[in-house]
A and B are shown apart, each in its own frame.
Chain A
Amino acid sequence: MFRPFADWLADTPLSRTLQDHAWVVPTSQSIHILAVSIVFGSACMINLRLLGVGLSGRSVSQLSNSLVPWMWRGLVVLLATGVIQTVTEPVRQFVTPMFWAKMMMIVVVATMTALYAKAVRRNAPVWDAAASRPWRAKAFAVLSTLLWLAIIVCGRFIGYTWSFYA
């Protein structure tokens, strides 16, 4: 279904120009991995705190308010570099289910993170005290960690699976 669109996109002047410069994709991917480090590193630190495994120096709300903005900045960089890679090699991205699974999971985990950050901002004392912290804090920690890991798996496996579908 997306193949005709991918073929059209690959033939546009912009895509052709990007394809002509061999450094574009590796450079974009390197920046992409650096942004993954910021986003996934921050997510892991917040989630370890929520699970009660370390990072106890700051309260849940302090840690989240400090790191979540960095996650959004990182996500903007991920989106920008992801668009560059997709415009340069649209077929590689659109033909493999890995890409679509990754996109769907990003929407889910980003929504979860936004809702989590909003809840913590609104009611910091309740989230900061272990006794009153909602049970969904731990559910969020486990689920969002698993989603980020699955997103990384899908991201890396786009490159290893697309040729089967092309």
Chain B
Amino acid sequence: MSLAELLTALEDWPISAAMRGETPGTEWLFPIVETLHVMALTIVVGTIAMVDLRLLGIASRDSSVSRLSNEVLPWTWTAWGVAAVCGTLLFLAKAATYTGNLQFLLKFACMGLAALNMLIFHFGAYRRVARWDLSEPPMSAKVAGALSLSLWIGVVFFGRWVGFTT
């Protein structure tokens, strides 16, 4: 099965038709799921920004980095789960269109790079967090924070542009 066939098959699913509002009673499904996606993504981006700004020394300087991360990131992941489920449903509505959309691909490129950045930070500078938890984070942690912030801004920008280009 080629990618094009797979995408067409996905679009033929009943849930995909419902997401397009083609099934009676589902006319408002897409806007509702999209609104839930927006609510969840604002929690994701807002909480990640809290940690990133702490790494950059701009906000929450009265909290240690590890404590702030431990408190905030479970909510980030929960919200990310909601955003991912809603995002998958939105994708199903027009799977082939989105897959061929530049902004959509750039959004996921940004998210992939953000994940990579997070892994490098987690297994790099963050392993020695005890040494700088309450003081100024090292340059590698600041770079990770700046990259994360930039990439998530990219995710939001390209995500919003998907709606204007499909």
Binding site for B on A (CB under 8 A): 25-27, 29-30, 33-34, 36-42, 44-45, 48, 54-58, 62, 66, 70, 149, 152-153, 156-157, 160
Chain B facing A: main interface SS: helix
* Complex alpha-carbon distance, A136 and B134, angstroms: 33
* Complex alpha-carbon distance, A149 and B79, angstroms: 14
A33-B38 contact in complex given A57-B63, A57-B67, A66-B59, C-beta closer than 8 Å: yes
User: Could you give 21 example pairs across A and B, Cβ below 8 Å?
Assistant: A25-B164, A26-B163, A26-B164, A30-B157, A30-B161, A33-B42, A33-B160, A34-B156, A36-B38, A37-B42, A37-B49, A39-B46, A45-B75, A54-B71, A55-B71, A57-B63, A58-B62, A66-B60, A66-B63, A157-B31, A160-B31
A42-B46 contact in complex given A37-B41, A54-B74, C-beta closer than 8 Å: yes
Binding site for A on B (CB under 8 A): 31, 34-35, 38-39, 41-47, 49-50, 59-60, 62-64, 67-68, 70-72, 74-75, 153, 156-157, 160-161, 163-164
* Complex alpha-carbon distance, A157 and B36, angstroms: 12
Which chain B residue lies CB-closest to A48?
B75
Q: Say which residue of B34, B45, B64 sits within 8 Å of A34 (CB atoms).
A: B45
Closest CB in chain A relative to B80 CB, distance in Å:
13
Q: Inside 8 A of A70's CB, which chain B residues have their CB?
A: 59
Tell me whether B35 and A156 are in contact (CB under 8 A): yes
Closest CB in chain A relative to B151 CB, distance in Å:
13
Q: Say which residue of A29, A41, A45, A55 sits within 8 Å of B160 (CB atoms).
A: A29
Tell me whether B35 and A57 are in contact (CB under 8 A): no
* Complex alpha-carbon distance, A26 and B43, angstroms: 21
Tell me whether A153 and B47 are in contact (CB under 8 A): no
Q: Inside 8 A of B164's CB, which chain A residues have their CB?
A: 25-26
Tell me whether B62 and A157 are in contact (CB under 8 A): no
